[in-house]
Structure 1
Amino acid sequence: MGDNTGTATVDDGFTTFSEEHAQGQLIPRIVDVALARAAHVLVADATTRLTGADLLRRAALVRDAVTAHHAGTGTAPQSAPVAVLRGHDAGAVAAVVGVVAAGHPVVVLDPTTPAPRLRHYVEAAGATLVVSDAERRETAAQVAGTVVDPDQDATRRRPDHVEAAAALLGTPAAPDDVAVIVYTSGSTGAPKGVACDHRSILHDTWVSSEGTGAYPAGSVVAHLLPMAFSAGVTPTLGCLLAGARQELFDPRRRPVTELPQFLARVGADVLLASPAILRGVIASLGPAGRLPGLKTVTMAGETVHGAELAAVRRAVGPQCVVRNRYGSTETWLMTEYPITGDDEAPEGATPVGWAVPGARLQVEREDGTLADEGTGRVVLTSRWLGGRYWRNPGKTAEVFSDNPDGSRTFRTSDVGTLGPDGCLRLLGRSDHSVKIRGLLVEPGEVDALLFAQPDVREALVVGRPNPRTGRTALVAYVVPDGPRPQASAIRAVVRENLPSHMVPEHVVFLDALPRTERGKLDRSALPEPARSSAPFEIPRSSWEEIVYEQFCAVLELEDLSIHDDFFELGGDSLAAEALVSRIEALGVPGVANLGTSRLAEAPTVASFAVAVRSTNRSTRPTLVPLRPEGGERPLFLVAGAGSAALALRTLAQRIAPGIPVLGLQANGLENKALPDWSVERIARRNVATVREQQPTGPYRVAGHSLGGLIALEMAHQLRRAGQEVELLAVVDSFPPDPALMPLPPQAGALARLKEGLSLALTGIKAHAGLGHYVRFFRQGNFLQRRYTTAPYPGRTLVLVAADDVDAGARRQWGPHLSGEHHVVEVPGEHMSILRDPRVDRPAELLSRWLRPDVVDLTGPALDGELADR
């Protein structure tokens, strides 16, 4: 089966993949490999291992289901794409093969993307059918009119693998037929479907596997990249075509700290990952950690700096080739920069390298001419470019051009420098894409969403740098259709449909968007955004003027309204501590021992100025109402060492509505009092405060860092008092085992004496500025290294920051929990999991555990992320 001309036969019976295979089509080659390796595993995930025979049978079931659905509809195969919505699993690979074998272009959907956005892709493609599974059936039903799950159809006859192979070959395709449609959004915001034909995919497989030697036949490839994107669907098909085994690992559902063990267990010799994933893995390994056994590591998608590259090379060893790659959805792989053996890592940004076989790189100068070296827009020419924009010939003509020799040219949106030796360095993008919190954002995607709202006539989203901080923020310019909506409502719509880093920081309402005399949008005429949508008002008294100045200084703003919310302007717990310290340092009579809890209750200049001068002091300064609203039993949330409870405000705000969240912090931290000198005493004080607010159980207690140990002790004490504790939640805390905690830094005798004296003065002797919080932080670390306790028998959720250097120690809670308990790793580091964009996942998990009657905690509702330890 298939065209084997001019190729060599390998031991398994199929021919080594060659450039000549690019003249054919996908399915015959995949069937050849699967038949030759009928008894060998080709695709595997955490629960399923598919041999070649298994793959053929599973793919044939998908093909039959797709064919049956479209039978009699009169639609030509190429006009009826079919979507696949599954996880990063073996079933998804079989589904992709089955759809292509049925003669339909496949559109792979990302299960982490909101349903409205997926539906947009499906409608743009013209698909009416989605192949899914039981876990995602509900979402799939929101995306397309018909959902099929061939694996669950018990009535369907299961063919043997030879029959299945024949069925898969029953719908021949031409080399230039569209096989895959990958969606990527451009600066216009309309999703662009890049239609890729069989020939271009086959050639890219040869380039990625045999042409560069990255994963030849017999390789074991650790595949981490989402299949909905070009970087993920390429190895999904490429491994099948080349005869490499792909081992699927989903870093969005499994912590990267598990990756080293995974690689060793499956015997991987090739790792395909993004630079961000590799950073997390290297951080978890530590300086001496290694990833043995790998022959190739490939990475692409963002800039890799020399120091990062050096760290990867230390971990993988000199026998492993590290490949920095560059490509696009329209072109597949374009360049590669391999580093082998003892090659020195480059300084600064690593080049993306030289054009792959069959491709030619040039740069387009400002005058429109092409050059073989210099700086300009990156242009690629190849006879293998088969991509085009689905249903959009006008957009295709803007960037693709056909040449007399049969090759095609593609003008990218990237700007780079091409050296005399042909090596390419990228400099940035030529379109309107911006980086927000290190993530690339196409503002047009937000435009498109806002345009779809009934109360919005026009919308334009741009990135604007802050002139003082240099930080880029998204600004949405909105023309209302009728009464002006609230800015908060605009942000809420975006947050419901797109990732949090795509939510505009500012919303500007206009009567009309500015346009040029030719009717095109005039971005240069867009006004600078106001700092807030709240009514603007200047300070009305000398005292408000003082508070106003401190707000501006801490937030690095030149001006603001006295009604602007401190936290909406970007203030966090550290900024809040700095603000309180600055105001106390002014020495204003009557202003002392202020505490950040006041700012949580009164977050504007106007309200905070009144609160600071209020004589109604709290009798419980350790209690901070982070979100007091709600009719359910409250969650008591304990702050970490030296941390004000306000540090937990963002997490508290993201907990499910209806659940009040009350923060607890150390005595003496923000009031004039002596601190408690044991975890047990802190817990005893907190229990008294808790029972004032809620006299009887069931109680819900949680804590971050040291706060997790304090919450544990509180739960023990409440149970000993005969009270029910419904939930204990520990957020990135060391277990109560001093051996697992980092040792304090070594110091000389004099330094230890000074440290001891400073520690003894915690809460007694005043310390200027933030040094007061540092003392409490050191005191808290001192206490946690001296706390042990019996195993806790109650229901417990443990969250661990997967990307933190201490993640390994912080997940060792098993011996200390004797009741129902789950340990879940969430993306982020120790403090970043309390802030955007990482805080959403911890908040979601806590919310679900606080409502066990609503959500099945061990079922698919948690996307398989919970694991008994």
Structure 2
Amino acid sequence: MEVTFNNTNVNYPKDKPLHDLVIESANKFRDKIAISFFDRKVTYKELNDTATRIAKLLIEKGIQKGDVIGMALDRCPEMIICLVAILKSGATYVPLDPEYPKDRIEFMLEDSGAKVLITSAKYKGHFASDTTEILIEDALSLTKNYTTDEPEVQVTGADLAYILYTSGSTGKPKGVQIAHHSMVNLMLSLQKAPGITSADKVMATATICFDIAGVDIYLPLSVGAEILLIDSIMAKDGRALLDMLRHNNVTIFQATPYTWRMMLEMGWVKKHPLKVFCGGEAMAKDLAEKLLPKSNQVWNMYGPTETTIYSIIKQVTDAEDITIGWPVDNTQVYILDENLKNLTNGEIGEIYIGGEGVGRGYLNRPELSAERFIPNIFSEIPGDTLYRTGDLGKFKEDGEIVYLGRVDHQVKVRGYRIELGEIEHNLIKQEGISKAVVIAREDTPGVPRLVAYLVLDTGSTGIVSKEQQDKWQTALLAVLPEYMIPDDYVLLSIIPSTPNGKIDRKALPKPDYSHIIRTDEYVAPRTSNEKLVTDIWEEIMSLDKISVYDNFFELGGRSLIAVRIMARLEEVTGKRLPLATLFEHATVEKLAARLEINAEAITWDSLVPIKPKGTKMPLYIVHGAGLNVLLFNALAMNLDEDQPVYGLQAKGLNGIDEPLDVMEDIAANYVEEIINHDPVGPYAVAGYSLGGLIAYEMAKQMLAMGKDVKMLAMFDTYADQTKKLDSPVKKVAKSIWTLTKQIAYTPVLFVEDPKRTVEYKSRELKRRVVRIFKKLFPGKVKKKQGFAAYTNEINEKSDKAQKNYLLTPVDIKIELFRAKKKTFYMDDFKLLGWKPYALKGVRVHDIPGEHNTIFAPPNDKQFAEVLQKCLDEAAEK
């Protein structure tokens, strides 16, 4: 299917100012209700006339076109009237929520250079600034006899309508500048889709400091619809919102996923004739499933403040097909890689937005503006810009856009965009805190939480006392909005860092959510084995009061932790359990019960059920050089619920079976176990690293047996051909040439990631020295014991198998999942050497991370998404 991208050009009145849309509605619907607020009703004539009179007062006070006016009013009809009045005066408004911290509002007034602050008697003199205050009560009294002919100010679409401050990474908010024409374009586009008429009633709850408030206000006013204005207290009450929806014939409501979930939890059962606008953060599948049967339409709305509220929209009709859809009118969306190459073939890249909605940059922040608002390389219009969103996305085959999360560390929680650096900046100001890192976690789906990781001057670690946490919370609430206050605090002795010296946010530990995500009450160990397992888990996982029903993976368990746990269990009990035991015995209770079984009854089959349930074609994944398959768990859990996954672990891990050292024999062993498990097929086989070579040989053998191998996948495996047929001279020559190329390529890697390169090269050098030492002085090598000895022997025999394995072409296609980040030189970076051996071709899928981190969060989710698509396509062949 041929897809035309960004065909969104539509003629619209670009010179028209935003308030003209309101004036046109007022002329057409003079006596119709414009705003309902509790028992108050404001007609369009009253709204427009009052706004005109206040605009004239502003002009009398010396306001000229282009001046900036701040407005801090509680939610009431006058709040909306004053916004329209400011636009009519030719000024630019800065919306200020009086509930926000005083210091924050004062910064916005100073940074914006506001000449006037419109507020109420309630806040008279409350904000320290050089601006002139105009109290709304005085303004209404002074202007009641003013004429209502429109002010003689020539406002055009190119003039600024508002400056809206968003969270800033340096600790200070940044002001986004939006022109009239950008808002006019969006309103006219949204009038068509999702669609609105004068018969609609729109419930408005968003604070005016949140950009989506612009849709709450101007979209209904642009067509003569009614605004049901909700006060700030009721806006936070899910039950109250649901009652307002039920009893006021609301037809359109815009809210964040957090608000929709809040309402659903309040007993929303019956269907309402409602258009759901869901924006502010990503829509989850389970939320769509709940909203679709309870409303007429569900719309997923996406867009940064910098590109005028919403840039991409989609009507969601199927919870299994959630995308952000297509651009609104006169908007262009590009998915670009690091080199600004346009990715239209489904590859993942960063979302860039161009067109009429792109703002004028950040006020007083030229460096940041230059970083985020870049020249539009796809436009011939001089000065045209693209906004770099920092969001990841991709195009589907039909041109729809899929949102895949953030590139950087700016996050959205409960619909609010948050620069985590601003929270960190204010935490470090607190007495006793030397370092602070804040991240957003969603360990429970649909329940995002801000977690602050702190290093104290005292070096204290562990749980934060309630008294101390309350003290920090109070201090932060004085300078930050409530939605930016951390939910949890974790004390660390040191903040983990990546090899290149940056904060390693992926390595920050999961907080103790015992009071939140452990659904069962704490149950203490009841048997000696339960006590043993609990003690070992608590020690190695650094957790307190682990219940016998707690799950290893839900507690943050990973393969390296599992190795330590199983090694300790073997040390104490003398029983060796496969790491894969944890897949089926993931709780303390089940693992302790497993220890009751005689050692002879413990099976060490190579085939391990990671996720055995499901009706789709199973996937069999072969271990890498680490030998165990536990690291595949996260990938498996992110695949479809109906997708079975099995792992293949090395023979000999029990210390009894003899490890195999011939590639064909290793593959034959795994093939036998797969066919014993499923004699019919079809089959999907994958291998990670070394496992890719084993999987290749397995597919070769299965095809020779007449088996239906639907898919062969390589997880970052290089087709390294054996040199066993080369002469000694040729072997030496090849080794020297390869080493030369590796050394020559090192500066390239160093420029990309200096510390990681030094670390990797140092480790490789150490390995080479150890190998040479072992060959020269075999008697002085200390022999490993237990599990380490068995794995060492298997690794050595696997290495021998690889070195002696002769790759020959096979009539098969390879799905190559290639790590984006390079950590070492390869002769073939593009196809990793597989082209000569896959006669039906090689299809490359770039996945995030480097070789050792492709299965680690958050890479596992993107990896799983691409893998599932390949599996489904293969199964249909």
1:396 aligns with 2:364: no
Output the amino acid matched with 1:413.
G
Structure 2 partner of 1:66: 58
Structure 1 partner of 2:292: 313
Kept in 1, the 8 Å contact 2:54–2:140? The answer is no
1:379 aligns with 2:360: no
- Structure-to-structure mapping, 1:475-624, within 5 angstroms: 475=452, 492-498=474-480, 499=482, 501-502=485-486, 505-506=489-490, 522-524=502-504, 558=539
Structure 2 partner of 1:405: 380
The CA distance in 2 between the partners of 1:384 and 1:471, in whole Å, is 29
Structure 2 partner of 1:119: 106
Kept in 1, the 8 Å contact 2:166–2:175? The answer is yes
1:303 aligns with 2:285: no
Structure 2 partner of 1:324: 300
Structure 1 partner of 2:167: 185
1:242 aligns with 2:223: yes
The CA distance in 2 between the partners of 1:249 and 1:455, in whole Å, is 41
1:283 to 261, 265, 271: 265
1:110: Cα distance to partner?
2.4
Kept in 1, the 8 Å contact 2:101–2:477? The answer is no
Kept in 2, the 8 Å contact 1:190–1:444? The answer is no
Kept in 2, the 8 Å contact 1:322–1:338? The answer is yes
1:424 to 394, 401, 414: 401
- Structure-to-structure mapping, 1:209-248, within 5 angstroms: 209=191, 211-248=192-229
1:422: Cα distance to partner?
1.3
Over 3 Å counting, the alpha-carbon distance change for 1:300 and 1:177 in structure 2 is same
**Identity in percent:** 20
What stretches of structure 1 of length at least 5 have no aligned partner? 1-17, 533-545, 567-574, 576-869
1:199: Cα distance to partner?
0.8
The CA distance in 1 between the partners of 2:271 and 2:133, in whole Å, is 44
Structure 1 partner of 2:821: none
Kept in 1, the 8 Å contact 2:239–2:266? The answer is yes
Output the amino acid matched with 1:325.
M
The CA distance in 2 between the partners of 1:509 and 1:366, in whole Å, is 35
Kept in 2, the 8 Å contact 1:362–1:418? The answer is no
Over 3 Å counting, the alpha-carbon distance change for 1:251 and 1:507 in structure 2 is same
The CA distance in 1 between the partners of 2:14 and 2:318, in whole Å, is 34
1:203 aligns with 2:185: yes
The CA distance in 1 between the partners of 2:158 and 2:455, in whole Å, is 43
The CA distance in 1 between the partners of 2:139 and 2:95, in whole Å, is 21
Structure 1 partner of 2:176: 194
- Structure-to-structure mapping, 1:773-792, within 5 angstroms: none
1:36: Cα distance to partner?
3.0
The CA distance in 2 between the partners of 1:431 and 1:322, in whole Å, is 29
Output the amino acid matched with 1:88.
R
The CA distance in 1 between the partners of 2:258 and 2:511, in whole Å, is 32
Kept in 2, the 8 Å contact 1:134–1:149? The answer is yes
Kept in 2, the 8 Å contact 1:381–1:410? The answer is yes
1:261: Cα distance to partner?
4.5
Output the amino acid matched with 1:170.
E
Output the amino acid matched with 2:119.
S
Q: Secondary structure at the residue paired with 1:445? A: helix
Over 3 Å counting, the alpha-carbon distance change for 1:67 and 1:504 in structure 2 is farther
The CA distance in 2 between the partners of 1:121 and 1:504, in whole Å, is 28
Structure 2 partner of 1:365: 337
Over 3 Å counting, the alpha-carbon distance change for 1:106 and 1:335 in structure 2 is same
Over 3 Å counting, the alpha-carbon distance change for 1:552 and 1:237 in structure 2 is farther
- Structure-to-structure mapping, 1:251-290, within 5 angstroms: 252-253=233-234, 255-263=237-245, 265-287=247-269, 289-290=270-271
Structure 1 partner of 2:312: 335
Cα deviations by residue, 1:267-313 (Å, 9 ceiling, x for unpaired): 332222222322333333444x2224x3x221112232334323222
1:52: Cα distance to partner?
1.9
Output the amino acid matched with 1:379.
Y
Output the amino acid matched with 2:31.
A
The CA distance in 2 between the partners of 1:135 and 1:116, in whole Å, is 17
1:265: Cα distance to partner?
4.6
Cα deviations by residue, 1:661-700 (Å, 9 ceiling, x for unpaired): xxxxxxxxxxxxxxxxxxxxxxxxxxxxxxxxxxxxxxxx
Structure 2 partner of 1:5: none
Structure 2 partner of 1:141: 127
1:26 aligns with 2:18: yes
1:107: Cα distance to partner?
1.1
1:82 aligns with 2:74: no
Structure 1 partner of 2:649: none
1:490: Cα distance to partner?
5.1
Over 3 Å counting, the alpha-carbon distance change for 1:131 and 1:554 in structure 2 is farther
Over 3 Å counting, the alpha-carbon distance change for 1:54 and 1:439 in structure 2 is closer
Over 3 Å counting, the alpha-carbon distance change for 1:326 and 1:515 in structure 2 is closer
The CA distance in 2 between the partners of 1:174 and 1:323, in whole Å, is 31
The CA distance in 1 between the partners of 2:227 and 2:536, in whole Å, is 49
Structure 2 partner of 1:713: none
Q: Secondary structure at the residue paired with 1:422? A: coil
Cα deviations by residue, 1:459-483 (Å, 9 ceiling, x for unpaired): 65333979999997634567989xx
Output the amino acid matched with 2:324.
V
The CA distance in 2 between the partners of 1:559 and 1:529, in whole Å, is 13
Structure 2 partner of 1:819: none
1:450: Cα distance to partner?
4.2
Cα deviations by residue, 1:488-539 (Å, 9 ceiling, x for unpaired): 66555224433374266135699x999999xxx832599979999xxxxxxx
Kept in 2, the 8 Å contact 1:260–1:291? The answer is no
1:245: Cα distance to partner?
2.2
Structure 2 partner of 1:150: 136
Kept in 2, the 8 Å contact 1:180–1:196? The answer is yes
1:241: Cα distance to partner?
2.5
Q: Secondary structure at the residue paired with 1:243? A: coil
1:128: Cα distance to partner?
4.9
The CA distance in 2 between the partners of 1:251 and 1:442, in whole Å, is 23
Cα deviations by residue, 1:747-789 (Å, 9 ceiling, x for unpaired): xxxxxxxxxxxxxxxxxxxxxxxxxxxxxxxxxxxxxxxxxxx
The CA distance in 1 between the partners of 2:56 and 2:198, in whole Å, is 29
1:434: Cα distance to partner?
4.9
Structure 1 partner of 2:437: 461
1:249: Cα distance to partner?
2.4
Kept in 1, the 8 Å contact 2:538–2:545? The answer is no
Structure 2 partner of 1:608: none
Structure 1 partner of 2:865: none
The CA distance in 2 between the partners of 1:509 and 1:119, in whole Å, is 36
Kept in 1, the 8 Å contact 2:442–2:448? The answer is yes
Kept in 1, the 8 Å contact 2:349–2:394? The answer is yes
Output the amino acid matched with 1:158.
K
1:408: Cα distance to partner?
3.1
Kept in 2, the 8 Å contact 1:363–1:373? The answer is no
1:191: Cα distance to partner?
0.9
